[in-house]
Structure 1
Amino acid sequence: MTTPTDRELSDVTLALEKLWELDENRLQPGVDYALNLVLARGRSDNTSKKLFEFVDGKVGKIPTFQLFYHLLDNYIPQTGIPEEVDTHELEENRAFIKACLETSPMIYTYNYLKAKNKIKGSMADFEKQLHKIWFDLYRREGDDDSSAFEHVFVGEVRDGEAKAFHNWITFYFNEKVGKIDYEGFVSNKKNRNEEPDPNSHVIEIRFSFEGAKKPFSTSFVGTSPEFELSMYTLLYYIGKENTKVTFDDVNLNIKVFPFFEKGGHGERLIGSAFPMVVYN
């Protein structure tokens, strides 16, 4: 059911739990994919394994996954270099957004934001707004060198460090073509030697992207692109930077950091968004 209840409208945590329930394209660990969660016990690379042992080929046939793949080669990772978006790339962006809007998580998000008076207009108007907030270029280090989608879902490199890279599909794509070197599972929990759960839908890992280090990164794994896009969009519109929620017995804080152009005086945009595991 994609119509939010009164309880969900009054409690955003319940709304996120509903989005999780609606993610019908989420993959099942051990069936649709398997991970090599090797504990990183030192600062140097201590595994020759890849993170993904396998991912079922059926994933590429799911429309939103397939259209997401098409976007991953549209960006220059290095910040400070202007992005140039051609007509073909614009069409790829639109096709991805349109496909997401046909899924239950995004329909629920639209209905939720309408009910909360955070958006106005039709689904077609919402489609334009999604394209704007996720794909419009802004200045991170140089003119038109970044966008919310690039930073959150694709990842960037700044001053020799990998930034963001919070999406598992992007990681898998880059690992397959040899751009990412997986360096092991890391954790913020007190007992860092505790073996990770290979069935968890959230991972905490260390890696390098073409030599640029990412010492700690969290991301969902197995979730659909539309789920993450819906969740971050919903939280962006209601202005929530930190939202506590539990998915599959994992306690999380969903972070959505705003970004303001023009020295803090410009429009409020999405700077970054990702899950953080909360340990008691």
Structure 2
Amino acid sequence: MMKLVIFSSIFIIFVNSLYVPYAKKRIDQSVVTQALNALVPLDQRIDAKVTLNYQNMASGKDFSHDNSPYPLFTSIDASVMQGPTYKAINNLLQYYTKPDIDASETMTESWNSSISDFLDTIISTQVMQNAWQFLQQNSLSPTDKDAFKSQLYTLWFQLYARNTAIGSSGFESVFSGETNSTNDVVRFNNWIKFYTQEQSTNVNYHGWFTKANGIQITLQFAWNDYHAMKQSFLLNSSPEFEFSAYTICALSGGDCTMSINGQSIEIAASTLSKNGQTVIDECYALSGGGPAPATTKKPNKNDPELQTLVDQMWAADKDRPQTGDIKINWGNKVNGKTDVSPDPMFTHVNEDLYKKPVYADLITTYNQNLFTPQVCTAESPMSGFKKSYLQTVFNTFTSSPAFDLAFKYLQNKKYPNTSSLDAFKPFLWNLWFGTYSRCSGTMGSSGWEHVFSGEWKGDEIDGQHDWTRYYLLEKAGKINYYGYYSYDSQLIGTFQYTWEKYLKPKGGFFTATSPAFDFSILTVCALEHSGANACQFNLDNYPIYITSYTQKCDAGTCISTAYPSDEP
């Protein structure tokens, strides 16, 4: 239902006549970091006026476990909420009473007046003045004050629909909080809202996952009947600082870094295009490389060299997507076997990546349709053009820096046939391309087809753990993304989707690595640490659990499955 939006006479003229669209663009991140760091000393932080009680870590598995019996905020000096920007934001927050993303909103004249007052108050601060100057210098914002105010209104307060109901905005997403029909808190990223709700006993703090004392926290809490399994926000920063920092980051690329009191803080700020206008999707802050579940496991204690290998491979993987190359919209959390996320998972991929041999050679095999997805249909012989195409990508992968490190690791482990790469490659070829049956004796499967290309078994998808393959099928309209179970930033996710008429109830893959990296680490795990979640390490500070199995096949030993997960 289209919502009626009533503006004050002054404000409607202001918005309609002065709005000039300024496209977001990627700015050199070192320049953005410098600009954000310049805002920090201007912020009127309230560290000395707040007492926090972190208590215990939250449960990453069971939301019903409330591990922290007391509120997060023990006390805040009464003078804090009397500050002009605190008064302005609290006055504005009273209008956000429908957090459900599927609930329509009716914006009133007094609501718009409160928005106007809030923007005037924020723009007058030194923090926002400095932020505005940076945005002007980089052609991201206008020089006229009223036009800038109009830009901020559109960016933060323009109502839009996430599904069908026009009831969301950037401000609500970040500063007020949003929920979905399955009683999940999907966005809630401001300490002021948390504090006021905690004071009203509407929020029950369960504990923390990561924290930078007095600066940032990733935590779990109940908000009335809604479950916030894991949310993140800054602590003790002013409304003008957060509003300014998130605005800079959203307009300049979306992935930013700054330092607060010596603590490195990462900001993720995503935008959407609605009716030709750029609006805030979500913004949140992470510390120390991002949140880690309470159940984080350390690398395999019996193989400390594995973590060293992964760190070296990550650094050597120059073909992996860089910041901004991929943009993922994780949508909503899975609810049964229905589509609860109307948008595709991949909202942007820089396809210049596909000019690199590790992608180009792999995509050639996909475009040639070398495999039949149905496991009950026998595969064509491994010969002729089929073998030639696969041999090319196999040679490309095994020539990559990531694989070179993986092979040296296997040599150090004295794995059979690793005296030289030439001696190892025939075994490796059979490991990945040897055929076997998943259906009554029909030779219709291989490790490569299962992991990279994907298969159909019954009415479900079997395997398919390559982000490039998924993206190309989604782009072609053959995949419909349903929603996520869990994810870590833009690195990895576990989710649900359909490929044509077949359902993947639960699956996932890395989303920030190259296919050569995936091939290399999955090979290592299958040969040295096979089993359910048996290959454990941290990647970019996130815990990773790889499940892999091998089986007997016509060529000797073949990979049955191998895939990563962000949760054990």
Q: TM-score band, normalised by the shorter chain? A: 0.7 to 0.9
Instruction: After superposition, give the CA deviation of every residue in 1:47-80 in whole Å (9 maximum; x if it has no partner).
Output: 3311111111211101011111122221111111
CA distance in 2, matches of 1:114, 1:174: 37
CA distance in 2, matches of 1:207, 1:158: 15
Secondary structure of 1:80's aligned partner: coil
TM-score (norm 2): 0.43
Identity of aligned residues (%): 24
1:25 equivalent to 2:323? Answer no
1:12 equivalent to 2:309? Answer no
Instruction: After superposition, give the CA deviation of every residue in 1:163-200 in whole Å (9 maximum; x if it has no partner).
Output: 1111111100111122111112223xxxxxxxx55x33
Secondary structure of 2:423's aligned partner: helix
- Report the counterpart of residue 192 of structure 1 in structure 2: none
TM-score (norm 1): 0.85
- Report the counterpart of residue 87 of structure 1 in structure 2: 384
1:253 equivalent to 2:550? Answer no
What is the CA-CA distance between 1:13 and the residue it aligns to? 3.0
1:175 equivalent to 2:474? Answer yes
Larger strand share, 1 or 2: 2
Secondary structure of 1:166's aligned partner: coil
Kindly provide the amino acid, as one letter, of the partner of residue 15 in structure 1.
L
CA distance in 1, matches of 2:451, 2:491: 18
- Report the counterpart of residue 397 of structure 2 in structure 1: 100
Instruction: After superposition, give the CA deviation of every residue in 1:192-211 in whole Å (9 maximum; x if it has no partner).
Output: xxxx55x3310121100111
1:184 equivalent to 2:184? Answer no
Secondary structure of 2:438's aligned partner: coil
Task: Give ranges in structure 2 of 5+ residues lacking alignment.
Answer: 1-301
- Report the counterpart of residue 566 of structure 2 in structure 1: 277
- Report the counterpart of residue 193 of structure 1 in structure 2: none
1:237 equivalent to 2:527? Answer yes
Kindly provide the amino acid, as one letter, of the partner of residue 243 in structure 1.
C
What is the CA-CA distance between 1:258 and the residue it aligns to? 2.0
Q: Is the 8 A contact 1:236 1:270 kept in 2?
A: yes
Kindly provide the amino acid, as one letter, of the partner of residue 224 in structure 1.
S
What is the CA-CA distance between 1:9 and the residue it aligns to? 7.4
Secondary structure of 1:138's aligned partner: strand
CA-based RMSD of the aligned residues comes to 2.3
CA distance in 1, matches of 2:458, 2:342: 26
Aligned match for 2:424, one of 126, 132, 140:
126
CA distance in 2, matches of 1:163, 1:209: 11
- Report the counterpart of residue 162 of structure 1 in structure 2: 461
Instruction: After superposition, give the CA deviation of every residue in 1:225-274 in whole Å (9 maximum; x if it has no partner).
Output: 11011111122232533111111222111111222349xxx944211111
* Structure ranking higher on relative contact order (CA contacts 8 Å, 6+ apart): 1
CA distance in 1, matches of 2:495, 2:504: 9
- Report the counterpart of residue 351 of structure 2 in structure 1: 57
CA distance in 1, matches of 2:442, 2:523: 24
Q: Is the 8 A contact 1:208 1:214 kept in 2?
A: yes
Larger Rg: 2
Secondary structure of 2:505's aligned partner: strand
Task: Give ranges in structure 1 of 5+ residues lacking alignment.
Answer: 1-7, 188-195
Moved more, 34-43 or 48-57: 34-43
Kindly provide the amino acid, as one letter, of the partner of residue 330 in structure 2.
L
Q: Is the 8 A contact 2:509 2:563 kept in 1?
A: yes
1:216 equivalent to 2:506? Answer yes
Secondary structure of 1:139's aligned partner: strand
Aligned match for 1:35, one of 306, 322, 328:
328
Q: Is the 8 A contact 2:376 2:442 kept in 1?
A: yes
What is the CA-CA distance between 1:152 and the residue it aligns to? 1.0
